[in-house]
Chain A
Amino acid sequence: LAKTTQPISMDSYEGQEVNITCSHNNIATNDYITWYQQFPSQGPRFIIQGYKTKVTNEVASLFIPADRKSSTLSLPRVSLSDTAVYYCLVGPDTGRRALTFGSGTRLQVQP
């Protein structure tokens, strides 16, 4: 499984755009990049997944450069409720295999 590296923590203010970058230098050809969000005392929640270029949904955007060795989760106009831990996961067949969570990035949004 590809190892991922992401910042331990980030701070932001309401209304700002937040970009969290994840490094995955050893990503394999059949690996997808998936981001989960976890609020305190709750289970992780799927945010977005991509393979290459850019993916956007109602919650976030995911930017993946051509070499796929990194990815950036972009949260537009964050609010206090976006305060959570964000995990970057890399691996194949993510709907049928074990997920390996790292320490994630703890995002603190302030008013």
Chain B
Amino acid sequence: EPEVTQTPSHQVTQMGQEVILRCVPISNHLYFYWYRQILGQKVEFLVSFYNNEISEKSEIFDDQFSVERPDGSNFTLKIRSTKLEDSAMYFCASSDPTGGPSRNTIYFGEGSWLTVV
């Protein structure tokens, strides 16, 4: 089964540093997402990206966050100046809602665990 891949699997960073989390979505997918899950809490939506622009974002996704699709395969989440409360598992996801049996399915990656110290 095709999968969403994320790197790094775990990153430790100092507060105030910039972090870039990378994702390779499933190759024919059109929608890309970032979610996060703070330890012991719910999975929270951050942002969705379609046609090279943000289509939806939550209030968590403030000016400290940005997303980019620098080439045809990668999708990145940048946190400009990390805070302690940014420590979480960050999940990338992708979907292809245009047709087929999996059109209503969002596929998640294994996550990148970010620890801000």
Residue pair B104, A34 in contact (C-beta under 8 Å) = yes
Which one of B31, B42, B107, B109 has the highest number of Cβ atoms from chain A below 10 Å of its Cβ?
B42
B interface vs A, CB < 8 Å? Answer: 4, 31, 33, 35, 42-45, 48, 50, 55-56, 58, 89, 91, 93, 95-97, 102-111, 113
Residue pair A95, B109 in contact (C-beta under 8 Å) = no
Residue pair A46, B107 in contact (C-beta under 8 Å) = yes
Asked whether any CB of chain B lies closer than 8 Å to the CB of A29, the reply is no
> How many contacts A-B (CB < 8 Å)?
63
- With CB as the reference atom, state the residue of chain B lying closest to A97: B56
Q: Provide the main secondary structure of the chain A interface.
A: loop
A interface vs B, CB < 8 Å? Answer: 32, 34, 38, 41-46, 49, 87, 93-104
Please give, as numbers and ranges, the residues of chain A lying within 8 Å of B4 by CB-CB distance: 43
- With CB as the reference atom, state the residue of chain A lying closest to B91: A43
Nearest first, the 9 A-B pairs at minimum CB distance are A43-B108, A95-B97, A101-B43, A98-B45, A96-B97, A95-B104, A46-B105, A94-B104, A43-B91
Please give, as numbers and ranges, the residues of chain B lying within 8 Å of A38 by CB-CB distance: 43
Task: Give the complex CA separation of A23 and B61 in angstroms.
Answer: 30
Please give, as numbers and ranges, the residues of chain A lying within 8 Å of B113 by CB-CB distance: 41
Residue pair A43, B45 in contact (C-beta under 8 Å) = no
Task: Give the complex CA separation of A45 and B91 in angstroms.
Answer: 12
